[in-house]
């Protein structure tokens, strides 16, 4: 490892201070640091680089913050296979599983090449309006279709490949990857899915039918969701960070992306230990 990118929230004081410590640690070892421009502005005498340019210039990136920060960085990495070391400075953090105390020992291992990655599948979401593609998103966690604050329940016709699934009558719908299963999907009553599983889960939000339950399907399937409600305020969001309004007749197509995200794994804990720690499994 000769070049490392650094991302963090510029308004998070602890993250800025820690970023300065990381840069000093890298410089001492003659490793070049590429700091995201907004973060560099909050640091002392630091040159910054455009965030979208950094992943192609470095061997890996360090993300200091929470899962939201990591999701935004994963989006900037795009189709590249630049691994991410996520350091949790937030309150929960399923993706940023490295703690602050583990950071520098972990960096020592990583720069020696002594690390393993978890390859996380992503979703490709395409939105079609009157048969034409109007937007596309690559998603690590989930996509959500939901109604506005004053809207009534919405009707969403769902198809799996060429088979009709059902028409959901609900406040919304979540389609989650295994990585995102511990997020909004979990809060909506969906299952936790081990990251290595090749599947997606569809979870209705407050369904108006007692028989509607989350369903797990193969990640090789094409999911099509058509908005059937007229004159309702409906929105599409990707990873909770970007999106667009939807209209009646719009179709959301979801399939496995050809590109994945690489997360550097902690050597001191496995996925189930993270679940026990974050969700307090086993406690009474």
Catalytic residue numbers? 67
In the 8-state DSSP scheme, what is residue 46? -
Q: What are phi and psi of 52, to 5 degrees?
A: -70, -20
How far apart (Å, rounded) are the C-alpha atoms in residues 222 and 228? 19
How far apart (Å, rounded) are the C-alpha atoms in residues 183 and 142? 8
How far apart (Å, rounded) are the C-alpha atoms in residues 132 and 126? 10
Is residue 99 within 8 Å of 278, Cβ to Cβ? Answer: no
How far apart (Å, rounded) are the C-alpha atoms in residues 139 and 282? 31
C-beta atoms surrounding 200 within 10 Å: 29
How far apart (Å, rounded) are the C-alpha atoms in residues 216 and 225? 15
How far apart (Å, rounded) are the C-alpha atoms in residues 77 and 89? 21
**Closest-CA residue to 113 (of 230, 8, 264, 246):** 264
Q: Read off the tokens for 43.
A: 């640091």
Q: Read off the tokens for 247.
A: 């209209």
How far apart (Å, rounded) are the C-alpha atoms in residues 9 and 163? 44
Longest dimension (CA), the chain: 61
How far apart (Å, rounded) are the C-alpha atoms in residues 119 and 121? 7
């Amino acid at each position: 490892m000769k070049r490392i990118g650094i991302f963090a929230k510029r308004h998070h004081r602890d993250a800025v201070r820690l970023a300065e410590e990381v840069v000093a640690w890298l410089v001492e070892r003659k490793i070049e640091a590429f700091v995201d421009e907004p973060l560099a502005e909050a640091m002392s005498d630091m040159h910054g680089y455009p965030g979208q340019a950094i992943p192609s210039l470095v061997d890996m990136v360090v993300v200091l913050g929470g899962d939201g920060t990591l999701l935004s960085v994963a989006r900037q990495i795009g189709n590249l296979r630049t691994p991410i070391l996520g350091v949790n400075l937030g309150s929960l953090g399923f993706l940023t599983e490295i703690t602050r105390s583990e950071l520098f020992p972990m960096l020592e291992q990583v720069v020696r090449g002594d690390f393993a990655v978890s390859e996380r599948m992503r979703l490709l979401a395409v939105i079609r309006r009157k048969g034409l593609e109007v937007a596309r998103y690559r998603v690590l966690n989930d996509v959500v279709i939901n109604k506005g604050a004053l809207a009534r329940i919405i009707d969403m016709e769902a198809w799996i490949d060429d088979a009709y699934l059902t028409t959901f009558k609900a406040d919304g719908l979540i389609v989650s990857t295994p990585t995102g299963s511990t997020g909004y999907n979990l809060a909506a009553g969906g299952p936790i899915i081990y990251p290595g599983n090749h599947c997606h889960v569809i979870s209705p939000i407050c369904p108006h039918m007692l028989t509607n339950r989350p369903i797990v399907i193969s990640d090789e399937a094409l999911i099509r969701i058509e908005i059937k409600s007229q004159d309702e305020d409906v929105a599409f969001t990707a990873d909770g960070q970007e999106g667009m309004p939807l209209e009646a007749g719009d179709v959301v197509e979801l399939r496995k992306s050809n590109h994945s995200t690489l997360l550097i794994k902690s050597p001191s804990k496995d996925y189930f230990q993270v679940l026990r720690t974050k969700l307090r499994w086993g406690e009474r």
